[in-house]
Amino acid sequence: MKELEQLKNLFPQELEQRKNWYSNVAEAYNKFRPRYPKKLINRAVEVSQIPAEAAILELGCGPGIATVPFAKLGFSILCLEPSKEACNFARQNCAAYPKVEIQQTTFEEWELETERFNAVLAATSFHWINPDVGCAKAADTLQSNGSLILLWNMTPQPNYEVYQDLHEVYKINAPSLARYEDTKTQEEIVKALGKTAIESGRFKDIYSEQIPCQATYSADNYLLLLSTLTPYLKLDTPTRDALFAALREKIEQNYGGSIQINYISAFQVAKKV
C-alpha cells in the first residue's frame, strides 16, 4: 500500500545507522513518547491467549515503554534494543521486575533461539526490522501456536483547526513535513503494517483493535516529543531549530502555551503458521 511505502521511506535502512537513530533523543523519548493504554495491552494479551507464565521476546524495546506494563502482568521478557542510551533507560524503568532482561543488540544480529517464546512483541518498532528477516525469524523463535503482538502508537496530530494554523509555519520552515494524518489514514497505515506479517506466509489470522487517544503537552514538551519522531530527526539542525522556534511562538501566542494532540493506539495479534 502507498501508506506503507511512504512510511518505509522515512526510515534509514542501514543497520549501523538504525542502531543509534534515537540515541541523542533517548531522554526525551523516555519522558514524552505516549504510553500504551492499559485497556489496549490487556486486550492484546487476551486475544493472543498466551499463558500466565509466558516468555516474551520484545523487539526494539526502547526505554521500556511497553515492557513495563507487560512486566507488571508477570511475564518473563527478553528485550532486544540496539541503542545503549535506550538500554540504560529500559534497565532503570524495569529495575523492579527481575524477570526482564535487556540485551543491547538488534533482532537481525541476535542469535536465534528456536521455539523458545510464547510471544514476540514489537511496540512501534516492527517497521524498523529488515522485512526479509523479521517475520521469518520471529516465527522461528516462537513455540507452536505462538503469537506475534504488534503495538502501534501512531504519529501525534493536533486538532485539524490547529494544524491549519500551524501549516504556514511548516510551509516556511519545513515544507516536507506540511502534511496531516487523519484517523482514516492512520488506520490504513496500521493495516498495511500488519499485512506484511501475513504476506510473509509465516503468520495467520491477524486480529486488530484500536483506541483513539488524546494528550495535552506544554509547548516545550510538545517540541521535545516532536524531536523524537523520525521526520524531525532527519532535519538538519538549523532547519529544526527554526521550525521549533516558530512553532513555540505560535503555540504560546495562540493557544496559551499548550497543545492537545490526537492519535490512535492499536494492537495486532497474529498466530504462527
pLDDT digits (tens, 9 = 90+) for 82-140: 999 999 999 999 999 999 999 999 999 999 999 999 999 999 999 999 888 899 999 99
Collapse the DSSP code of 152 into the 3-class scheme (helix H, G, I; strand E, B; otherwise coil) and give the result: strand
Q: What is the pLDDT of residues 161-183, one digit of tens each?
A: 999 999 999 999 999 999 999 99
Helix (H) or strand (E) holding 27: helix 26-32
In a domain, 124, yes or no: yes
Query: Backbone phi, then psi, for 97, in 5-degree steps?
Result: -120, 95
In a domain, 244, yes or no: no
Instruction: Tell me the CATH number at 47.
Output: 3.40.50.150
Count of structural domains, the chain: 1
Which pLDDT value is given to residue 11? 43
> Do residues 203 and 210 make contact, with C-beta atoms less than 8 angstroms apart?
no
In a domain, 228, yes or no: no
Which pLDDT value is given to residue 13? 53
120 secondary structure, DSSP code: E
Collapse the DSSP code of 68 into the 3-class scheme (helix H, G, I; strand E, B; otherwise coil) and give the result: helix
User: Whole domain around residue 121: which residue ranges?
Assistant: 2-156+181-214+264-272
In a domain, 186, yes or no: yes
Cα 264 from chain centroid? 12
Which pLDDT value is given to residue 5? 53
Residues linked to residue 62 through DSSP beta bridges, in sequence order: none
- 155: closest CA among 88, 95, 222, 94? 222
User: Within the chain, where are the H helices?
Assistant: 2-9, 15-19, 26-32, 38-48, 67-72, 84-93, 131-141, 160-173, 183-199, 219-226, 230-233, 237-255
Query: pTM above the 0.85 mark?
Result: yes
